[in-house]
Structure 1
């Protein structure tokens, strides 16, 4: 199952948010075709 986007927003370390967002997009694009 894809990573819950809402869970990323709940992370206290907002400094990592850009990195997490980039990883999420890369994961979604990479595995989006399988879904």
Structure 2
């Protein structure tokens, strides 16, 4: 069970970081589509 909790913590730490890395790319491509 302890391993599951550790995995959950890692996911909470690193998934938002990945999302923040993707968002600027998404915004740039959206701006490129508008222009």
The TM-score, its normalising length taken from structure 2, stands at 0.47
Q: RCO greater where, 1 or 2, for CA within 8 Å and sep 6 or more?
A: 1
Q: Which has the larger radius of gyration?
A: 2
The structure in which a higher percent of residues are helix is 2
